[in-house]
A and B are shown apart, each in its own frame.
Chain A
Amino acid sequence: MNLSPIPPRANRPINLAAILWRVHQTRRRTSRKEENSIRARRSLAGRAGLGSASGGKSRKTRSYHLSAASSRVEQLTSRLNCPAKCCYTPAHMEHRDDQRFRARRPSLGAILLGLIPFTAACFSVPLWDRVYPMVVGLPFNFFWLILWLLLTPLCMWGAYRLEAGHASEPRHKDGGTL
């Protein structure tokens, strides 16, 4: 005789939303835990770093532990600092994605700057494909395109300034963007 108010597993209706919510909560909790532990480790390492001035045999062993701990901290924090927000995986677990290359997308500003020459030298062709007025002895269409050979580097220089700003941000420690 079954006294339990909960129906057997097979008959229970699946509440997808509840499952997802629970999964979400668990993930948040574990990630918080990770973060806290990292914060604790980091402060520990910091304190240990201050104290490492004491000499002798203990210093040697201590600094060994310290370097191990700090590299561990670095490992963990670098994953948490990941801009793609995919790194709440605990550090002891195999994280597949961090070994893969992913391209960094150019910024919107740089793309818009690149669209200017495209509009001027390609899409607007019916507007400037004419002989008159001749400018500096050239038919207008020749003049217009040669002008854009000079103006395109200006646009791209602007885009370069935008992108170079981004490029100075640290990439992932392996060089790939994550």
Chain B
Amino acid sequence: MSASVVALAIISAIVAVGSFVGFRAGSHRKMDLEQWTVGGRGFGMLLVWLLMSGEIYTTFTFLGASGWAYSRGAPVLYILGHTCLAYVVSFYILPELWEAGRRYRLQTQADFFQVRYQNKYLTAFVALVGVIFIVPYLQLQITGLGIIVEVASFGVIHRTPAMVISFAIVAGFVFTSGIRGVAWVSVLKDFLLLFAAVFVGVAVPYIYFGGIGPMFVAIARAKPSHLVMPGATTDLGHAWYVSTVLLCAFGFYMWPQFFGATFAAKSGDTLRRNAVVMPLYTLTMPFMFFVGLAALLVLPGLANGDLSMLTIVRKTFPPWFLGVIGGAGALTAMVPAATQMLTAASLFSKNLCRPILAPGMTDRQVGKLAKITVLAITCAALCSTILNSTTLVGLLLMGYGGVAQFLPGVMLGLYSKRTTMPGVFAGLVTGVLIAVLLMLGKHDPIMGLNAGFIALCFNFAVTGLVSLLTYTGDSGFAPFVSSPALQSRDNQEAT
């Protein structure tokens, strides 16, 4: 049996087990739209933790982080900075967001904008921007899956067919299981990823250099500039680091799929405790950097840095082990991709289609439309992946530049009554326009700062200014269904 067959067989076995767990978790529950998108709002700390980490530790961590450590060097440290600080931000925002979610029975991010600003065009615009900027993230996962299969098959299977097959599986599993299935596959995936990351991160430097310390000594001797910013680049210096960390830390929980995970929690306190312990989970991230840095000296001159981790694993370990790592990588791509699809689909059908195009739709029809949308979005992401390619980190930063623009609407809207609908609308349009123009025009980074960060600054300024001009004293959350009615509705649904 050739090496590529062994590796691919193990990868498919892991993916099959993962999908089976997902199908099982969702199969014996009646799925209405709320069960499908936010799991009936009953997730405890452990499940929320798994769900959130499932969405945080993606292919990006697995292949992108090592890839950037390989090709860029020290700027990759921004990943450590921003994940750690994003939890700090989440500590203050998420519990209140959850409270609002419970009061108004919110399911998506755009729902939040609807109850806060009560304008269906703003809601639809938020949904649209959310869907558009989820596509690069999905694209990242697809590219990752393609890379895994390509490397594991020693180049026999081309990237494109591999991507199509794996995404058919993901779409099928989103169809049947909803968010609960996703959370349970996360369990499997996280164990595999933890094992894979720590083992490879320790073993690879040990095999080639005799340990992590000696490896850094060797790199410091061979390429001293690689270990401090701006690393192997010219424009990713300290200003870029600060602006990117700020953008990503604050933009982190603006991803539409994290709103879904937030609303799935059992209580606000669950989220708060979660925020306290989450940074510890980031401790696996440096091991990915070590693999990339080891590859820098062992395998110089790779055309695509994102291949560095799998290539060095292939060079160092037997094929079955490449299969295990590849399988872990495949699940880390599938799980977040599933949540992203789920989120994008419900955003599109519930907040964009229904209010604007077909106001008469019932919840059941929206659920059906959401499932069809899963297919459409998958196809869109697949097409855009096949047509263009950037580095994995590049794709993610593009997404961040877009979704972070929701920040003024969410944060100011949550905490200040003076934020008005026209203010947020104007700010959001300005921010998204500037971000898109700068990124499409390849002006990122600009003047040593992250382009998304600049757009966010303009966004804040416009939101504040227009809000001040349009504030009339009656700008707050929509009135909510009072408690007894809410409880009777809860009872009705339970029976």
Q: Which residues of A are interface residues toward B (Cβ below 8 A)?
A: 96-97, 99-106, 110-111, 114, 117-118, 121-123, 125-126, 129-131, 134, 136-139, 141-142, 145-146, 148-150, 152-153, 155-157, 159-160, 163-164, 167, 173-177
Contact = CB atoms under 8 A, between A and B. Distances in A.
A148 B277 CA distance: 13
B272 interface: yes
Nearest to A105: B415
Contacts of B92: 106, 110-111, 114
A125 B241 contact: yes
B99 to A, nearest CB: 7
Ranked nearest first, the 7 interchain pairs of A and B with the lowest CB-CB distance are A137-B213, A103-B96, A99-B479, A101-B477, A145-B80, A156-B276, A152-B279
Contact of A163 (B81, B272, B289, B417): B272
Q: Is the interface of A mostly helix, strand, loop or mixed?
A: helix
Quick one: which of B85, B104, B229 has the most chain A CB within 10 A? B85
B85 A175 contact: no
B45 to A, nearest CB: 13
Interface string B294-315: 0000000000000000000000
A117 B77 contact: no
Nearest to A127: B238
Q: Is the interface of B mostly helix, strand, loop or mixed?
A: helix
A99 B282 contact: no
B88 A150 contact: no
Nearest to A146: B286
B465 interface: no
Interface stretch (B14-22, B220-228, B364-372, B385-393): B220-228
B273 interface: yes
A176 B213 CA distance: 53
A153 B283 CA distance: 12
Given A123-B242, A153-B279, A163-B272, A134 B213 contact: yes
Given A105-B415, A114-B88, A141 B275 contact: no
19 contacts: A99-B479, A101-B115, A102-B417, A104-B96, A122-B85, A122-B242, A125-B229, A129-B241, A131-B227, A134-B216, A136-B213, A137-B213, A141-B227, A141-B228, A149-B84, A150-B280, A152-B85, A153-B277, A167-B268
Interface of B: 74, 77, 80-81, 84-85, 87-89, 91-92, 96, 99-100, 102-104, 115, 211-214, 216-217, 220, 224, 227-229, 238, 241-242, 245-246, 249, 268-269, 272-273, 275-277, 279-280, 282-283, 286, 289, 414-415, 417, 476-480, 482-483
Contact of B84 (A104, A106, A117): A117
A52 B399 CA distance: 66
Contacts, number: 153
A149 B478 contact: no
Contact of A159 (B85, B91, B477): B91
A114 B90 CA distance: 11
A149 B483 contact: no
Given A122-B245, A137-B211, A163-B272, A101 B80 contact: no
Quick one: which of A105, A136, A152 has the most chain B CB within 10 A? A152
A117 B81 CA distance: 9
Given A114-B89, A114-B91, A134-B217, 8 more contacts: A102-B417, A103-B99, A121-B85, A122-B241, A125-B229, A129-B241, A139-B227, A141-B227
A36 B302 CA distance: 81
A111 B178 CA distance: 36
A100 to B, nearest CB: 5
Contacts of B102: 175
Contacts of B80: 121, 145-146, 149
A41 to B, nearest CB: 23
B94 to A, nearest CB: 11
A149 B88 contact: no
Contact of A156 (B77, B91, B214, B249): B91
A139 B227 CA distance: 8
A129 B228 CA distance: 6
Given A125-B242, A131-B224, A146-B283, A174 B482 contact: yes
Given A121-B84, A149-B283, A138 B212 contact: yes
A90 B211 CA distance: 74
Given A118-B85, A142-B286, A163-B272, A176 B99 contact: yes
